[in-house]
Structure 1
């Protein structure tokens, strides 16, 4: 008899589990799967992630009995769930379903690419909004255009449509010649900046609020990020075009950003090598989440001049300059 009661209990429990994520249509109860879609804002250059080349996202989701509560809610429904684009549609496994109780809500948080190099998610039992620590790869070639989505809070049906936004600052360096000396070649370049930071999600306060923000340790650890190129010819002064030296995706902070450059030129005594270190960058206040800032380094025999501008595609801002003298 005890065994029979256990079997009956198991059957009842199993039936509740199967129906708890179903929708009542009025005539019958059917499973309603949760589907995803994404839209990436303002991607324009090689290396940027856009709607066409985004292939994976990481999703956190909290199932709550009532509205999301930052004091107790955890990512108990999805934790760093891989969602992949396959054949033009977003797919994941195991498939999850909307709750059948209208008072139950699901809140979604996402970033991309899934498990990008340098991303360490908050743990699965952390209460409140999910977050992740990001440690920027030191090599230019290993850096990615990290995205984060505006949170979708207290949803009970429909499609989950993420608005993915650029989370880092895109920093592009171009070079040109400022004098009549020809044959300049850049042989090394690097930039120093913040090594790591933490991105935490929150409920947007207004339409301009992205729903996420960065914080940094009280003492920021600096790191050197190395450009891929080892030999880049600097366009002569007579050539109006600039040459692109490198593209970085860096943490949006103006703490400790300087650059180092080594280049050669042909002088009276033959090939001369010049190395400048810890050169300041202008307009660091433009390093915002989602901003696109470019610098042009003008090189002549005795002076290096760096000018900057921000681009409305990713952000807005002003211009500035700084000079570095070669001894």
Structure 2
């Protein structure tokens, strides 16, 4: 479908660090306690914003102890898992992070901790490397985050009877994709009450080919090998392509209203159920990305079937690159006359002519009159 315009606006969402740690008082000072900072709590599918968790939110923690601090860029094969901290879910309740049964410090041992969030995210950890698979259903996706490893020197019970509480700094690990839809042109007297029912996004094999290449859905993040607080997270070993694409379906159809100028900000955001947005594994697509926007509308000139549907295909003009911890907002402009396959009235200048003047000259001679005295 020609001349349908698509504009993409990209904005980076930068995680803001917070110097205010949340104090946690534990009944047993030898138990391992945790503190965190990053995002305000949210429901499933809704990205975390801000830099604090709220009550009811959870994280997942893994702990290991070794004879010396794990300082290298590779995992220490001699590390032993700390009992009760082998992917334990820790929940914030009443301002405190709690878990049961508790884990305890090992005297004379160095300790290393890893964490991911939220607690329901099905991430796995092996040798300091997180593996994660993005859910196919947008409503089931979460704002997956990982924390830098916490590497501690040996703990000595005699010199440090009250070990410090562990503080995690989480980082958003995925790319967030948003869509807005607007009418750039209406079909006068032919359609009204135009609404968005759904948006499907697919990665094409090459250019605008119909073949679908799919999105990568599984990847790894090496945590033990990265310098705490340095740079962005790096995904490797991308695999598990989702060839079906992702479908965003709002709880209620999104009304588009009247046509607006292509550059207008009056585009309507289309979110999935429970206000969820698409969370993608950071990647670069092979070919262009195709959006299929399904609309409902009232057919004014038809009787008996006033509500109809139409799907509009909109392709990007190039392959897309989505990076860690960034938001990509696509504005999809739709011409309803073109969506309804109406034909524009055009005029052909090549065949447009002007009839020349008649070359015959009709001469008329008029004689003057003698004026009266």
Do the two structures share a fold, i.e. TM-score over 0.5?
yes
Q: 2:328 aligns with which of 283, 293, 316?
A: 293
SS at match of 1:222: coil
Q: By how many angstroms is 1:141 displaced?
A: 2.1
Q: 2:37 aligns with which of 19, 36, 39?
A: 39
Partner residue, 1:106: 111
User: For residues 278 and 97 of structure 1, what CA distance do their matches in structure 2 show?
Assistant: 56
1:208 aligned to 2:224?
Answer: no
SS at match of 1:141: helix
Between structures 1 and 2, the one with greater strand share: 1
Q: 1:167 to 1:75 in 2, by over 3 A?
A: farther
Q: 1:244 to 1:84 in 2, by over 3 A?
A: same
**Structure 1-normalised TM-score?**
0.69
CA RMSD of aligned residues (A): 3.4
Partner residue, 2:268: 243
Q: 1:172 aligns with which of 178, 183, 188?
A: 178
Q: By how many angstroms is 1:258 displaced?
A: 3.0
User: For residues 291 and 79 of structure 2, what CA distance do their matches in structure 1 show?
Assistant: 41
CA contact (8 A) 2:134 2:280 kept: no
Gaps of 5+ in 1: 1-29, 305-324
Partner residue, 1:322: none
Greater than 6 Å deviation, 4+ residue runs: 42-46
Structure with larger RCO (C-alpha < 8 A, sep 6+) = 2
Between structures 1 and 2, the one with greater helix share: 1
SS at match of 1:194: coil
**Structure 2-normalised TM-score?**
0.62
CA contact (8 A) 1:41 1:166 kept: no
User: For residues 196 and 34 of structure 2, what CA distance do their matches in structure 1 show?
Assistant: 46
User: For residues 176 and 44 of structure 1, what CA distance do their matches in structure 2 show?
Assistant: 28
User: For residues 80 and 297 of structure 2, what CA distance do their matches in structure 1 show?
Assistant: 57
Alignment of 1:160-309 (within 5 A): 160-181=166-187, 182-192=192-202, 194=215, 196-202=217-223, 203-205=225-227, 207-210=229-232, 213-217=235-239, 220-229=241-250, 231-238=253-260, 241-246=266-271, 247-255=277-285, 257-265=289-297, 270=302, 273-277=309-313, 279-280=315-316, 284-285=320-321, 287-301=322-336
Q: By how many angstroms is 1:107 displaced?
A: 1.0
Q: 1:240 to 1:66 in 2, by over 3 A?
A: closer
SS at match of 2:139: helix
Count residues in correspondence. Answer: 267
